[in-house]
Amino acid sequence: MKKSVEKKRDREKKVITEMAKLYCRKNHKSGELCDECKEVLNYSLKRIDHCKFMETKTFCSNCKSPCYSPKMKEK
């Protein structure tokens, strides 16, 4: 059985992936993720893996650590 932290991480990753897709569709008019957004997404996913606050925080948007790159935050 997976630890709850891991579950949270997985869920967070899914949310971020969806967010990136939506963002790209809206702002870059591409059906799939463009290279730029893919890069941002991969970066964000990596941040999630290394986020020390995963256990205590409820959601990344509430996180005080700069998990997201400035570009993603703009959205």
Least distance CB 30 / Zn ion (angstroms): 6
Number of other CB atoms surrounding residue 59 within 10 Å: 10
CB nearer to Zn ion: give 32 or 49.
32
CB nearer to Zn ion: give 19 or 37.
37
Per-residue contact flags (x/-) with Zn ion for residues 2 to 41, judged by CB under 5 A: ----------------------x---x-----x--x----
User: How many CA atoms within 13 Å lie on the side-chain side of 42?
Assistant: 7
| Residues at the interface with Zn ion (CB under 5 A) | 24, 28, 34, 37
